[in-house]
Chain A
Amino acid sequence: DAKTTQPPSMDCAEGRAANLPCNHSTISGNEYVYWYRQIHSQGPQYIIHGLKNNETNEMASLIITEDRKSSTLILPHATLRDTAVYYCIPRDDKIIFGKGTRLHILP
C-alpha cells in the first residue's frame, strides 16, 4: 500500500472553501484514492474516491494531479459540521487509515 503524507491540522473559516492536500508519491497504477472523514465520537464516513480524473459529488470535489502523486479534497463551502479528521487513503484492497488531517472550521 502507498504511504501518504497529510498535514496534521488545518483551519478554515466557515463559508470558505477548505482545501485538504495529500501526498501519495508511491501510489501504484491500480490504486484508487479514497477520502474518509471521522467526526468526533462517530465512525468514519466515506466522502469521495477517484483514480485519474477529478471527481465531484454532493459532499466534495477531488482533484488528482496528472502524475497521481498527490490529491486535494475540496469542501466548497465549509460549515461547522465539517469539523473532523480527514483521511486520504490510496488502496486497491483493504483500507489502511493513517493519521489524517484534523480540520477545524472557525466561525
Chain B
Amino acid sequence: DAGVIQSPRHEVTEMGQEVTLRCKPISGHDYLFWYRQTMMRGLELLIYFNNNVPIDDSGMPEDRFSAKMPNASFSTLKIQPSEPRDSAVYFCASSGGIAEEVHEQFFGPGTRLTVL
C-alpha cells in the first residue's frame, strides 16, 4: 500500500481564494482524520469521519472550513475564502477503527499551505 496520499504537497494562494486539499486514505481504513499544524498552536484535530460520515467537527475553526468524504477512498478539506492565518501544514490520517484495541493512525506527508 502507498500509505495515505495527500495532494497538493505545497499550495501558495492569495487571500480570498478558495483552497481545496485532497486525501486518499489507506484502503480498508474506515476512519479518516484532518489535522492542522502551526508553530503557535501545534497539531490540532479539525474533523474526523467514520465510514464516510463526519463524527466530530468541533475542531473546525469556522464556517470558512468544510470537509467532505464522498466515498471511502477520497476526502477533501476546503477553505473558502482563505486568509493568511490559515497558513499551516494540513495532515490527513487514516486508521482501521477507534473501537479496536489497536487503532494506530497512519499520517500522510501533509500539505503546506501558504496564504499571501
Chain A residues with a Cβ under 8 A of chain B:
36, 38, 42-46, 49, 93-99
Whose C-beta in chain B lies nearest to the C-beta of A93? B98
How many contacts A-B (CB < 8 Å)? Answer: 40
| CA of A93 to CA of B31, assembled, Å | 12
**Contacts A93-B98, A94-B56, A94-B98; is A43 near B91 (CB within 8 Å)?**
yes
| CA of A13 to CA of B93, assembled, Å | 32
Asked if B106 lies at the interface with its beta carbon under 8 angstroms from chain A, I say yes
Asked if B12 lies at the interface with its beta carbon under 8 angstroms from chain A, I say no
| CA of A43 to CA of B27, assembled, Å | 18
| CA of A94 to CA of B93, assembled, Å | 12
Contact A43 B108 (CB under 8 A): yes
B10-44 residues at the A interface, CB under 8 angstroms: 33, 35, 42-44
**Contacts A42-B109, A43-B91; is A99 near B42 (CB within 8 Å)?**
yes
Interchain residue pairs with CB less than 8 A apart (16):
A36-B105, A43-B4, A43-B107, A43-B108, A43-B110, A44-B91, A44-B107, A45-B107, A49-B104, A93-B98, A94-B33, A94-B45, A94-B56, A95-B45, A97-B42, A97-B44
Contact of B45 among A45, A46, A96, A98 (CB under 8 A): A96
Contact A95 B42 (CB under 8 A): no
Contact of A94 among B4, B48, B109, B110 (CB under 8 A): B48
- For the complex with contacts A49-B104, A97-B43, A99-B42, 20 further pairs of A-B residues with Cβ separation under 8 Å are A38-B43, A42-B110, A43-B4, A43-B91, A43-B93, A43-B108, A43-B109, A43-B110, A44-B43, A44-B93, A44-B107, A49-B102, A93-B98, A94-B45, A94-B48, A94-B98, A95-B33, A95-B45, A95-B105, A97-B45
Interface centre among B42, B44, B109 (most CB of A within 10 A): B42
**Chain A neighbourhood of B106, CB < 8 A:** 46
Within the complex, the shortest CB–CB distance from B57 to chain A, in Å, comes to 12
**Chain A neighbourhood of B91, CB < 8 A:** 43-44
